Structure 1
Amino acid sequence: MLSLHTNAASLSTQNALGSTNKALTSSMTKLGTGYRVNSAMDDAAGLQIATRLNAQSRGMSVAQKNTQNGISMLQTGEGALNEVNNMVLRMKDLATEAANATSTTNDQTAMKAEFDALATEIDNIMTNTGFGGQALFAAGGTFTKAATFQIGASASETYAYDASADLTSLTTALAALKGGDISTGANAAITLADTASAAVGTLRSSFGAAANRLEHVYNNLGNMIQNTEASKGRIMDVDYASETANMTSKQMLMQASTAMLKQSSSMSQMVASLLQ
């Protein structure tokens, strides 16, 4: 039907042009940002899933840092204990030498001076060894009670490491060794040194086991982060090949719709020609 008031062809073309323009704008936005989902309108369910995956991934990334810091702290403590053990062994050497019948009183006096100096330095290490400004072995230190490591993205993913019993045994053994006198009880000091060295070894072994566990936690977190990020990317990231083709299609439709809109204006001229 030819009508001056209603141009159905123009209205239909304008409606199609508007829809195509909206789709073209969406494609250009996606290509410009690199994201398939730029607002909840693009994919409401996908955005919710991606948000949850992002929270998990970020939490695991921080947990990875936690495990590395935990390993560093354990290695700091283990390194200090290694030096303590070296001094304990030297103290045993001195006690063994002092116990020999060839050692004179003057010899034993000189050995005792070194023995006591080493005991004092062991006290210094056990008191002042710290990590991040916090003591590790002194009263109230990190390892005097259970130490909890946050090793995951959720509140339940923790590792409670408790070396307090082994540390107490070591502290007791070192105190007994410090109280030894190689001038009058060299044989007893040898036994005390053996006990202290064994206690050091027990605590160092515990530190090593804990550090190894945290290393495995770190590796597993890396695997989970990789796959979580990949899953999030499949939801959020735009497929450039597909979206570029889609944009090209919409551009062609825009050109065609614009041309047809121009043609639809000639309908009114046809009505006017009937009145001539």
Structure 2
Amino acid sequence: MALNAISNYAANVAHRNLQKSDMDATSSLAKLSSGSRVVSAKDDAASMAIGSRLNSQVQGLRQASVNAGQGVSMLQVADGAMARINDVLVRMKTLSVQAGSGQLSNTERGMLNTEYQLLLAEVNRIAASTEFNGNQLVNGSLTTGGASVGTGGGFAVADGVSSITGHGLTTASSDNYTLSYSSGNATFTLTDGSNSYTGAISSSAMDASGNMITGAGVKLLPTGTNTGDLVLSLNTAFQSATTVAPSASAGGLQFAGASSATFSFKVGTGTDVTKDVISVSIDGISGANLGINGTDITTVSTADAASDALGNAIDVLNNARASIGAYQNRLQFAADNIASAVENTEAARSNLLDLDIASEMTTFTSKQILVQAGVAMLAQANQMPQDLLKLFQ
């Protein structure tokens, strides 16, 4: 190759190779600093796409594992309530057997009945107060609703009352509940003639304009000795006491449905109800659900009847507890399976995206040497034209 002063071919070659080595070293440094083999899509487009999908699946599975764990915790709360009610029922059974014996007088049976009734009230209280994140667990769930809530009219969907959900109540063969509303204090009252439930619209359920917040409800608490509770579900059409639309009362409410509450837990990343959702049904264990409301032990005959009812109630309760235990085991197995799926999916994602530090460090060291050599050779190439000056001496 001829020597010339205009073009320096050797310097150009050295510069090109130096640029490539510098880019490779920079790319290797980016991977080492991030810990990822695929820093940008150009590094491996297919792995980037597949790895991103796997990562989203892993994150979804992690949340599904939390859901399953929360489901187990919720069932443990329900099982704890059932265990305490079982203890109460055993004591009530003991009292009924004692009251059915002939050595006692009616006066003594009255004394036993005092404890019996208080224990019955405690059964209902535990059933009504057992909640998890605001959801009642062991008090059943009965609903009335439709185009008009109640045959008596007055509280229709258009007026803002979409449905009434009752807990701790039994279904009736005929319409037997009456709902009334007092605009003076924005209070609802539901009665079946002997038991009453009252509840007012809370200010927290209203927005700044005085309209009911979407999804808000009015909880009707018992008055007197009754220990159930109701929830009145209202929509946004229902407004404050001064602008309330419904008429004064609506009679003839009839509750229908099952005496159990159903909860669905998302244990997968999809939407298939057969694969990604586990539904749990928890039987109600209030006095009404167990068939012991209204029992007493004031006489031998009523004590014997209460003893039979309590025997059946204990069987019903144990069946409910067995169902809870089965659901707990299922959710636990689901959580274990999710943990295995997370582990294997994470391994697959890691193979695609995670960096082999040892291998990449070797590559980086090689590129560093090439960069240093390139700098040195470019310096030498830039010195070559100076050799031409010796020809002029």
Q: Could you tell me the TM-score, scaled by structure 1's length?
A: 0.92
Q: Does 2:145 align with 1:144? A: no
2:43 is paired with a residue whose SS is coil
The separation in 2 between residues aligned to 1:93 and 1:53, in whole angstroms, is 59
2:159 equivalent in structure 1: none
Contact persistence 1:60–1:225 (CA under 8 A): yes
2:297 to 174, 182, 186: 182
Unaligned runs of 5+ in 1: none
The Cα shift of 1:136 comes to 1.5
Contact persistence 1:37–1:47 (CA under 8 A): yes
Aligned residue type for 2:64: A
Contact persistence 2:265–2:278 (CA under 8 A): yes
Q: Per the alignment, do residues 263 and 173 of structure 1 end up closer, same or farther by CA in structure 2, a change over 3 Å counting?
A: closer
Q: Does 2:383 align with 1:266? A: yes
2:348 equivalent in structure 1: 231
2:100 equivalent in structure 1: 99
* Aligned residue runs from structure 1 range 43-192, under 5 A: 43-138=44-139, 139=141, 140=165, 144-156=260-272, 157-163=276-282, 166-167=283-284, 172-174=288-290, 176-184=291-299, 185-192=302-309
1:241-273 Cα deviation digits (max 9, x unpaired): 111111111111112111111121233223344
Task: Report which of the two has the higher share of strand.
Answer: 2
Task: Report which of the two has the higher share of helix.
Answer: 1
The Cα shift of 1:275 comes to 4.7
Q: Per the alignment, do residues 55 and 72 of structure 1 end up closer, same or farther by CA in structure 2, a change over 3 Å counting?
A: same
Contact persistence 1:146–1:162 (CA under 8 A): yes
CA RMSD, aligned part only?
1.8
The separation in 2 between residues aligned to 1:180 and 1:171, in whole angstroms, is 10
- The number of aligned residues is 271
1:88-112 Cα deviation digits (max 9, x unpaired): 1111111111111111122211111
Q: Per the alignment, do residues 148 and 230 of structure 1 end up closer, same or farther by CA in structure 2, a change over 3 Å counting?
A: same
1:37 equivalent in structure 2: 38
Aligned residue type for 2:318: G
1:178 is paired with a residue whose SS is coil
The Cα shift of 1:181 comes to 2.2
1:192-240 Cα deviation digits (max 9, x unpaired): 0011111101111111100110101111111111122222222222212
1:8 equivalent in structure 2: 9
The separation in 2 between residues aligned to 1:29 and 1:250, in whole angstroms, is 13
| Identity value in percent | 34
* Aligned residue runs from structure 1 range 200-239, under 5 A: 200-239=317-356
1:177 is paired with a residue whose SS is coil
Contact persistence 1:173–1:192 (CA under 8 A): no
| Higher mean C-alpha displacement, 153-162 vs 207-216 | 153-162
The Cα shift of 1:155 comes to 2.4
Using CA pairs under 8 Å that are at least 6 residues apart, name the structure with larger relative contact order, 1 or 2. Answer: 1
Aligned residue type for 2:380: Q
Unaligned runs of 5+ in 2: 142-164, 168-258
1:111-148 Cα deviation digits (max 9, x unpaired): 1111111111111111111011222233446x834211
* Aligned residue runs from structure 1 range 234-253, under 5 A: 234-253=351-370
2:213 equivalent in structure 1: none
The separation in 2 between residues aligned to 1:62 and 1:78, in whole angstroms, is 24
